[in-house]
Structure 1
Amino acid sequence: MKIWAIVSDFPKVTETFALANVQAFRRAGHQADVFHIKPFRSGEIVHPEAQDIVDAAKHLGYVTPRTFSLAMLGCLRSPVQTMRVIRRIFGAFRTQPKHLGISLILVPQALAMGQMARRAGVERLYAEFAGYPATVAWIASRTSGIPFGFSAHAHDIFITQGLLDVKARRAAFVRTISEFNRRFLVQKAGVPQDKVHVIRCGVSPDRADCDLPEPPSGAEPFRILFVGALLPRKGVDVLLRALAHLPKSLTWTLQIIGGGSQDAALRQLAQSLPEGRVTFDGPQPSDKVRQAMSVAHLVVVPSVEGAEGRSEGIPVVLMEAMAQGRPVIASRLSGIPELVEDGHTGRLVPPGDVQALATRIEHVLSNYEAALRMAAAGQARVRSHYNIDQNAAELLALIKGA
């Protein structure tokens, strides 16, 4: 089967799950490729195992001669459907000018992509996000006849619910990654309950074949790790402030892997902590991240709710850390408690609560044997429920059933 997976930004190091799904579809014997809406991100790190998918990715510009000619063909083939799509967009976003404008800008590319996919013999369209990728898939499907479905992760459903019910009713399926999201889609967005399927993201099962860490010996410090984009919603400032509250008797280091708009501000904040305790290593390829996790004593994911309702789904970094048997502390946010069960598979704190995070870190570092027992339970949970091969197979079954 020939499948196109639709995303906005590509490649994007924080969206490795999108590539992991395409890799799994290919391993299952299908012709799976990525179609990205926005221009190629040439400065992004590409993990070696994903290079062939990146090289084969498809793209059409917003306004190019090819986009225009294919869009006109799509419009001429399905004039009534095209007008209905545009009317639906106006109706959904009449009070949200930003989303209205972007959705209308996407119409020509979506029409063109539908015709491009027809010519290429594509049999299924799968949008990795419920926002603009699902909008493109919906328009392309309406004007090309190719069935589509989409996934819902996090801020792609939290920022706006415009068009969600329309796209869901036309889609063959809606896949989401947590029970939290399922309830939100049904109760807040009006998505038909029978359309929604909970299929987790996941990590490769070989990542969960790791020994638990040994407690530090002698003068060795506790190694704390953060991996993620340096953006306000990731809460790295909360983590840095929490570390300032730890007792001086605890010796620790913090390694920060990732880049983003908050880099300079976070480096400034880190200067208030003892010199040499915090290192900023920037974005790193997957093998370097795994290596950092393999020597970490604790991984912290201190996410907060961001602007416009931007929020985590269930961060892949948590799955990766737990798969490697690392103790974790995370925010009680969105679907995270479905993976990190407080006191059983890890520790949870209220988002943005500096003192609560400091207390949890101190407790983990001071009672490390208990933390390791939770890490073992967390590793078992990832093995059983967050296996990328099993979950991608479930997703593929939905796509084939479309």
Structure 2
Amino acid sequence: MAHILITVSEFPKVTETFVLSNALHYQEQGHRVGIFHVKPFRDAEVVHPHARPILQAGFTFGWFDRRSAAALAAETLRAPHRVLGLFGQIGAAFWREPKRLAATLALFPKATALARHCRREGVDHIHAEFAGYPATAAWVAAKLSGVPFSFSAHAHDIFLTQSLLVTKATEASFVRAISHFNRDFLARIDGFPADKICVLRCGVSLPQEVPVPDLQAGQPLRIVFVGALLPRKGVDVLLRALSDLPQGFEWSLDIIGGGSQDASLRKLAATLTLKNVTFHGPQSSDVVRAAMAEAHVVVVPSREGEGGRSEGIPVVLMEALSLARPVITTRLSGIPELVEDGVTGLLCPPDDVDALRAALLRLREDYPAARAMGRRGRERVAEDFDITKTADALLTRILEV
């Protein structure tokens, strides 16, 4: 039995269900699991019922409370050259990025407390689920405790900045990329140890197959969007695409999720006089799955966000295809590795209103073909994105260290 520690930025987080699913899988295999979250516990987060048992595995330390301050002092006395060396590496990596430098230095006392926790609790391996601050915390804790560490590369955690990334990768046991797109991106970074990269997917649970609803002539096309209401999700593109569909094209749109764009998107829908749009806010997994089960199509119109923020392979696409629902999404990052245009779904260029509208028309005109794509999508998920397989693959790699 191994003691595995997972590091994340925020916990629990509905958009990172794979973290909880992986932790549950490790526990089911008889391993001891802890989840260190950099930021405070998210009390208001909607937690899926199946994941609630893992919440007790989460913990953190204060930014500079009694424990973290004592840990920093003790580690500095125990290994002053090592601590100063870590400070020097951080400063050299981020001197041109003062905000990230300040955030990383603020994290340092917590990371030293994490190192003491790892030694005291007999942690065997630290795995950071994200290459940014979680990997930095894991790197510091590993350097001070002697426990091996690894990290996952998902999306904007590697796109926004590459500072310190080569250092962390060089000292990690392995680097897990969730897509071939990410693997290739990392391998192109000067000095990055490409031989340490392994492509291991994220995944979702594969539910029992539920028949896809029929779409009769004149029946409204039921469209569902699930995700955070943020600029990079492209919901405004979907609303604009719906605003100019041909007369007689009946539809309804359910938007599930919350975020900074909630008010502006509601205003846009009103401005475009879109009367068949319903904003539901954040919902539990049961509600989300029920909405997908009743949908004719799930649309994920992602775009690249500010500063390079981007999707990896959105979990919502995996979930929709696990139910064999037709999907429309964009050619972005690793998405085409799951959604192959015309095979497991329809792809559009990001930010292309006309292309998204054309995809909706194509789906409506030949819905049997769309249903066939959904079925093939489910087969793709079962083969490459089943959480049981993906979590086991990552666990196997961790245990090999």
Q: Could you list the runs of 4 or more consecutive aligned residues of structure 1 that deviate by over 6 angstroms after TM superposition?
A: none
- State the match for 1:26 in structure 2: 27
Distance 1:190 1:364 in 2: 45
One-letter amino acid matched to 1:81: R
Q: Percent identity?
A: 52
How far residue 62 of structure 1 moved from its aligned partner, in angstroms, is 0.5
Cα deviation, residue 76, structure 1:
2.3
**Cα distance change, pair 373–26 in 1 and its aligned pair in 2 (3 A):** same
Give the equivalent residue in structure 2 for 1:399.
398
Counterpart Cα distance in 1 of 2:113 and 2:176? 25
Amino acid at match of 1:326: R
Supply the AA of the counterpart residue of 2:370: A
Q: Unaligned stretches of 5+ in structure 1?
A: none
Q: Distance in 2 between matches of 1:323 and 1:254?
A: 21
Aligned with 2:167: secondary structure?
A: helix
What is the distance in 2 between the residues matched to 1:368 and 1:387?
26
Q: Which structure 2 residue ranges, 5 or more long, are not aligned? A: none
Q: Which residue of the partner structure matches residue 377 of structure 2? A: 378
Aligned-partner residue type, residue 60 of structure 1: F
CA displacement 1:254-290 (0-9 Å, x = unmatched): 0000000000000011114455400000000111111
How far did residue 74 of structure 1 move?
2.2
Give SS of 1:260's match: coil
Amino acid at match of 1:115: R
Deviation of 1:19 (Å): 1.0
2:92 matched to 1:73? no
CA offset digits 1:268-324 (Å, max 9, x no partner): 111144554000000001111111100000000000100110000000000000010
Distance 1:275 1:76 in 2: 64
**Alignment partners' CA distance in 1, 2:183 and 2:239:** 33
1:130-141 to structure 2, matched below 5 A, reads 130-141=131-142
TM-superposition CA deviations, 1:307-358 (whole Å, max 9, x none):
1100000000000000100000111000000000001110100000111111
Question: Structure 1 residue 77: deviation in Å?
Answer: 2.4
Q: Give distance in 2, aligned partners of 1:189 and 1:396.
A: 29
Partner of 2:253: 254
| 3-state DSSP of counterpart to 2:209 | coil
SS of the residue aligned with 2:225?
strand
Residue 193 of structure 1 corresponds to 194
| Mapped contact 1:230–1:261 kept (Cα < 8 A) | yes
**Given the alignment of the two structures, is residue 355 of structure 1 paired with residue 342 of structure 2, yes or no?**
no
Aligned counterparts of 2:340 and 2:317: Cα–Cα separation in 1: 12
Given the alignment of the two structures, is residue 335 of structure 1 paired with residue 334 of structure 2, yes or no?
Answer: yes
CA contact (8 A) 1:322 1:382 kept: yes
Cα displacement (A) at 1:219? 4.8
The residue type paired with residue 193 of structure 1 is: A
TM-score (norm 2): 0.97
1:47 and 2:53 aligned: no
Residue 199 of structure 1 contacts residue 395 of structure 1 at CA under 8 Å; is this kept in 2? yes
d(CA) in 1 for partners of 2:113 and 2:190? 28
Instruction: Give CA-to-partner distance per residue, 1:43-94, whole Å, 9 cap, x none.
Output: 1111111112113311101010111112222222222221111111111111
Distance 1:381 1:189, change over 3 A: farther
Q: Which residue of the partner structure matches residue 366 of structure 2? A: 367
Distance 2:216 2:348 in 1: 28
Which whole-Å CA distance do the structure 1 matches of 2:119 and 2:369 have between them? 56
Q: What is the count of residue pairs matched by the alignment?
A: 400
Partner of 2:58: 57
Q: d(CA) in 2 for partners of 1:74 and 1:396?
A: 30
Residue 84 in structure 1 maps to residue 110 in structure 2: no
- TM-score, structure 1 length as denominator? 0.97
Partner of 1:162: 163
C-alpha distance after superposition, 1:170-196 (max 9, x if no partner):
000100100000000110363211100
